[in-house]
Amino acid sequence: MDLERLKDIPLFLVRDQPFMSTFLLVLGALSVARIVYQTLSVLLQIFVLPGKNVKQFGANRGAWAVVTGASDGIGKEFAFQLAKAGFNVLLVARNKVLLQATASDIAKKYPGVSTETHSIDFAKGDEAAYQGLAMVLNDRDIGVLVNNVGKSHAMPAYLVDTPKEEMIDIVAINVNATLRVTYAVLPGMVERKRGLILNIGSFAGGLPSPMLATYSGTKAFLATFTSALAEEVKSHNIIVEHVNTYFVVSKLSKIRKSSALIPQPGPYVRSVLSKIGLACGAGYSGRPGTSTPYWSHALLDYAMTLIGLPSVFISYTHGLHKSIRKRALKKQEREAKRQ
Ligand SMILES: NC(=O)c1ccc[n+]([C@@H]2O[C@H](COP(=O)([O-])OP(=O)(O)OC[C@H]3O[C@@H](n4cnc5c(N)ncnc54)[C@H](OP(=O)(O)O)[C@@H]3O)[C@@H](O)[C@H]2O)c1
């Protein structure tokens, strides 16, 4: 500001009206205090406070954990860590061989737990297949459900350039599978008055992501669905949590090397299971039922909440995705020439 113009500030407001100056001072102090309080509470949740113990959902008492997309990546890690906690595990995905291999690795490592597998292709949305899965789920004491299965775009693309099948599959897998599996599992949890449902979401759900519009929209669905359902069932002692996730090393992310911001599935899943019921980085984001538990994802989420300005982040993401698409198309061209 031009120093000369400071003279124009109506100083009489401060000098002649002590009430006004005190009011402004208190308002400023309250705003600073609020930010300090929020930041301390977020840091405490991320680094100090323990979440609810996952074992309270029936571990070592015969309860099952059901994990969708359990043959690889994050889902496979959930299956291992829930078995370690003392749950029997039901692994759900398409590839029977991978499912069996994962189940027998779990059985070898944790001989005290039972494992079962169920093969289903959620992209097909086949009614008979869903009924088959419901029969496997019914009459089983399910303590934990991890709606982990997910599909993203093969590469960033504008909606008009997105293959129709890809668009349809993403909705079938990310939205319909979560709804149908939850719908099959929930009545039993209500009856037993105990349950934990984790819906694995993405930053792309909170921050609209151009060129991944379908994926982004389906992950936003998970956040809203979780908030609504969590309120519906909390009186039945059931926790429903939307787990907000930045990048994790996996086939889906196409990232092979971990870093501070991009963990391996192991530490990522450990953070989820150790922070149940704590919002961590999603605190104060206006998304009840959402948790961002992994420490660096949590700090990023909280920083984005503090900064605000979503349109700046959306535009940045758009630019990033344009360049990722360019590189992906070039790689495709090179590979086509090689063949
Ligand atoms: N990795 C990340 O950076 C990241 C970031 C944000 C959110 N997430 C979310 O985390 C979740 C897990 O992702 P991930 O990275 O672990 O993925 P991933 O490594 O690609 O694993 C996906 C799992 O889902 C199964 N699956 C895929 N399509 C299926 C279908 N049509 N029907 C049944 N099962 C199917 C796969 O097994 P089969 O091939 O045998 O079926 C596999 O077990 C997803 O919801 C994803 O959106 C991941």
| Residue range 217-274, pLDDT digits in tens | 999 999 999 999 999 999 999 999 999 999 999 999 999 999 999 999 999 999 999 9
Q: Average the pLDDT over 307-331 and give the result.
A: 97
Q: Does 290 sit in the ligand 1 pocket, CB within 6 Å?
A: no
On the question of pLDDT at 16 being above 90, the answer is no
Atom of ligand 1 nearest to the CA of 121: 32
On the question of pLDDT at 2 being above 60, the answer is no
Angle in degrees, CA 261, 45, 314, rounded to 5: 45
Distance (Å) from CA 76 to ligand 1 centroid: 10
pLDDT of residue 13: 59
List the residue whose alpha carbon is closest to atom 22 of ligand 1: 69
| Rounded Cα gap, residues 298 and 290, in angstroms | 11
pLDDT band for position 19 (50/70/90)? confident
Convert the pLDDT of each residue in 94-153 to its tens digit.
999 999 999 999 999 999 999 999 999 999 989 999 999 999 999 899 999 999 999 999
Q: Which one-letter amino acid corresponds to residue 37?
A: Y
Q: Does 130 sit in the ligand 1 pocket, CB within 6 Å?
A: no
pLDDT band for position 339 (50/70/90)? confident
| Rounded Cα gap, residues 188 and 193, in angstroms | 8
pLDDT of residue 86: 98
Which residues form the catalytic set?
215
pLDDT of residue 9: 63
On the question of pLDDT at 302 being above 70, the answer is yes
Share the mean pLDDT of the chain.
95
Distance (Å) from CA 257 to ligand 1 centroid: 18
User: Using CB atoms within 10 A of its CB, is residue 40 exposed (0-12), middle (13-18) or buried (19+)?
Assistant: exposed
The residue with greater pLDDT, 337 or 148, is 148
Give pairs for 296-299: CB < 8 Å, separation 24+.
Answer: 296/246, 296/260, 296/261, 296/263, 297/203, 297/244, 297/245, 297/246, 297/261, 298/42, 298/45, 298/46, 299/46
pLDDT of residue 7: 62
Atom of ligand 1 nearest to the CA of 173: 31
How far is CA 112 from each of CA 57, 108, 109, rounded to the nearest angstrom?
17, 9, 9
202 is in an annotated binding site: yes
Reduced 3-state DSSP string for 188-209: HHHHHCCEEEEEECCHHHHCCC
The neighbour count for residue 26, using CB atoms within 10 Å, is 10
Convert the pLDDT of each residue in 198-218 to its tens digit.
999 999 999 999 999 999 999
The distance from CA 32 to its chain's CA centroid, rounded to whole angstroms, is 30
pLDDT of residue 18: 79
The residue with greater pLDDT, 339 or 235, is 235
List the residue whose alpha carbon is closest to atom 41 of ligand 1: 94
The neighbour count for residue 9, using CB atoms within 10 Å, is 10
Bridge partners, residue 146, by sequence: 67, 198
If one residue of 77, 90, 94, 145 were mutated to test the ligand 1 pocket, choosing by the most ligand atoms within 8 A of its CB, it would be 94
Atom of ligand 1 nearest to the CA of 75: 16
pLDDT of residue 139: 84
Distance (Å) from CA 65 to ligand 1 centroid: 17
pLDDT of residue 338: 87
If one residue of 67, 117, 221, 252 were mutated to test the ligand 1 pocket, choosing by the most ligand atoms within 8 A of its CB, it would be 252
- Delineate the domains of the chain, giving CATH numbers in brackets: 52-324 (3.40.50.720)
Atom of ligand 1 nearest to the CA of 255: 3
The answer to whether residues 77 and 266 touch, using CB atoms and an 8 Å cutoff, is yes
Distance (Å) from CA 27 to ligand 1 centroid: 47
| % of the chain with per-residue pLDDT over 70 | 95
Q: Average the pLDDT over 12-17 and give the result.
A: 66
pLDDT band for position 17 (50/70/90)? confident
The answer to whether residues 113 and 81 touch, using CB atoms and an 8 Å cutoff, is no
